[in-house]
Amino acid sequence: MNMNVEKAGQGSPEGGDLFRVLSYLEECTNELEATVDLHDPNPVFRMALHAIKRHLEGKVMTPTSLIAASNVPYATANRRLREMIEAGLIDQRPRTRSGKRFSMHPSEKLLNQWTQMSRQVRNLAATYFSDQSSREETHDYYYGGSYMTGRTIPPIQALSEPLKLAGGMRVLVHGDPTFMVMENFKRQFEQVIGTQIHQRAFSIDRLRAEALRNAERTFSRYDIIALDLPWIGEFAEKDILMPLDEIMDMTRLDPADFHTAGWKAIHWGGRPYGVPAQTTPELLLYRRDLLTAAGLEPPATTGQLLDAARELHAPRKGLYGMAFNGARGTALGHTVLMTMADFGQPVLDLPVTSRGFDTDTLAARDYCATIDTERGLMAAEYLVELLQYAPPQTLSMSWYERMRAYSEGHVAMAYGYTLLAPYFELNPSSPAHGQTGYLPHPSGPGMANVAPIGGYAMGIPANLAPERAAAAVEALRVFTSPEAQKLYVQSGSRTSPRYSVGADAEVRRASPIFEAVDAMSWRDELQFWPRPPIPEITGIVQICGEEFHDMLRGRISPRAALSQAQERADTLIANPE
């Protein structure tokens, strides 16, 4: 299930506002110094500019390269460089065991100062060089909104001390756009943590299999592993992951900054076993232009969705009403659980709360499957009807296939993870480019709208060699930090587990997804109970994906599919591995 990230529109951090402003200031400085004969170069400004640009590019800086960038004599530049170090603007990091050679890095203080200046330069440029309407729009954007919306996250900062790991940092991830950013910008991340990064990426099923194999080894082959959020319970119960509160101060992660559903999803028995790396809800994606042309409102209920799919379904014109995961097994199984949630039916007998359903006591293992119910039947019959307006290849369609169908203009609506929105958001030739609206799943009769949470967490293997644990914790913090998350977005990702990232001005300009998802989180529409993280969840998903596939192929009735899935799920829960 690996994705060609380049085709998905993977960008560069050099597209960020800070880099553009730095380049602009550099050119202005060059012009000023070349034009005014009596103008003296500003070595501190020049070295600061050079330091930040090299940091953003992930390139090594030495004292010699900084001095060379100053445009003043060596002795003057060396003196000014020492002053910058003493003032806390430049950090030195040892490059050798002797400590006699250093690499140079912009400090957090310098990065924050330049981030603020970058914002002011943009405002001044808008004030003096834009027309009146543009100036008003800029002023409203920065000063008319909330404080959170106006904040800008600075670039990721290099660690003050390089991580000491024999053989470098070893990471196991899922082959999706967000994790591929780490691979594409590996050099920059290596500069940040001070050691090499070796990354392996697998499809979802192979990722789980490799994590299980790794747990059988005496010592883990990986320092950090990624896992699908529903696997938390299984990985905790099987001692695959280390409880993070045993080896790190959790407050360093700023738990309140994570979307509530994503943060709760990484806990089992009240203990955290990972850090959210992606919060990617499955949403209803719809073509605004097609719905408007047909005089339709965006659907908020399953009945409205069926009506819209029926109205927009035009196979002779190569357009189908709706796309969803229909491939046998894992793909369709996820669709089944999320569709049941649309009708207010969790797959387990979870206690009802004011916010949906309670998952806090799952570690007690006192639960049973709830598939064969009246609301389960409503969900099954809904999928049968929805299939009438889906593409003919739906029963072999999984995550990427449904997104490709939507991005190529073959379907008017689709269930889809924000993770894969780059397929059309970063592809100007896509008919869906700039024409896509985002909503939580339309709900069944009398039910609340839900945006089921997907995505991945990053954790530390329980069998990691003890001497590697401290470095793994530090790298985990870096990879999931707001600064790293912003880099992922600037490089094409459309997921973020943190409120601060979704509120960042540059991130908001990158995609409407972030504002939409944050709003859903504040309304408690982001929920992870549709796929509760119990140890048996992978098996239950597989069971539903098999029985409902037979149903959609017409081999068995909806009631038979529910009954057989219920019986198999009961057996699975009663006989855990």
User: Phi, psi (5° rounding) for residue 511?
Assistant: -165, 145
Residue 233: closest CA among 367, 368, 362? 362
Tell me if 479 sits within 8 A of 224, measured CB to CB: yes
SS3 of 151, please? Answer: coil
Distance CA 541, CA 226 (A): 19
d(CA 572, CA 577): 9
Inter-residue contact 360 to 440 (CB < 8 Å): no
Q: What is the DSSP string of 444-512?
A: -TTPPPBEEEE-EEEE-BTTS-GGGHHHHHHHHHHHTSHHHHHHHHHTT----SBHHHHH-HHHHHH-T
> Using an 8 Å Cβ cutoff, are 104 and 61 in contact?
yes
Q: Report the top-level CATH class of 169-279+455-522.
A: alpha beta
Q: What is the pLDDT of residue 4?
A: 40
Find, among 148, 156, 551, 564, the residue nearest to 339 by Cα: 551
- The Cα 254–Cα 246 span in angstroms is 17
Contact 512/438 with Cβ under 8 angstroms? yes
Q: Identify which of 261, 255, 227, 221 has the alpha carbon closest to the alpha carbon of residue 241.
A: 227
Beta carbons of 465 and 247 less than 8 angstroms apart: no
**What single-letter DSSP state applies at residue 369?**
B
Closest Cα partner for 477 from 297, 222, 254?
Answer: 254
Q: How far apart are CA 207 and CA 231, in angstroms?
A: 11
For residues 45 and 282, give the distance between their C-alpha atoms in angstroms, rounded to a whole number.
46
Pairing of strands 224-228, 456-459: antiparallel
CA-to-CA distance for 367 and 540, rounded, in angstroms? 13
Q: Domain 280-453+536-574: state its class.
A: alpha beta
- Name the phi and psi angles at 527, rounded to 5: -140, 145
pLDDT of residue 145: 33
Helix (H, G, I), strand (E, B) or coil at 96: coil
Q: Which pLDDT does position 7 carry in this prediction?
A: 37
Phi, psi for residue 159 in degrees, rounded to 5: -65, 145
C-beta of residue 508 within 8 angstroms of C-beta of residue 514:
yes
pLDDT along the chain (577 residues), means of 10: 37 51 71 62 83 73 83 86 87 72 81 71 64 41 36 83 92 85 83 93 92 97 96 96 94 89 92 93 97 97 98 97 97 97 97 86 94 98 98 95 96 95 94 97 95 94 96 96 91 88 88 90 90 95 98 98 98 87
How far is the C-alpha of 273 from the C-alpha of 256, rounded, in Å?
17
CB under 8 Å to 493, separation ≥6 — which residues? 177, 178, 181, 278, 419, 422
Q: Where are the beta strands (DSSP E) in 83-220?
A: 90-94, 102-106, 169-174, 197-202
DSSP code, position 13: G
In the chain, the amino acid numbered 377 is L
Task: List 92's β-bridge partners, or say none.
Answer: 104
Q: Where do the structural domains in the chain lie, given as residue ranges?
A: 111-144, 169-279+455-522, 280-453+536-574
Q: Which two tokens stand for residue 238?
A: 């099987």
The rounded distance, in Å, linking the Cα atoms of 245 and 514 is 29
Q: What is the pLDDT of residue 109?
A: 81
User: Structure pTM?
Assistant: 0.75
Q: For the chain, how far is it from start to end, CA to CA, in angstroms?
A: 27
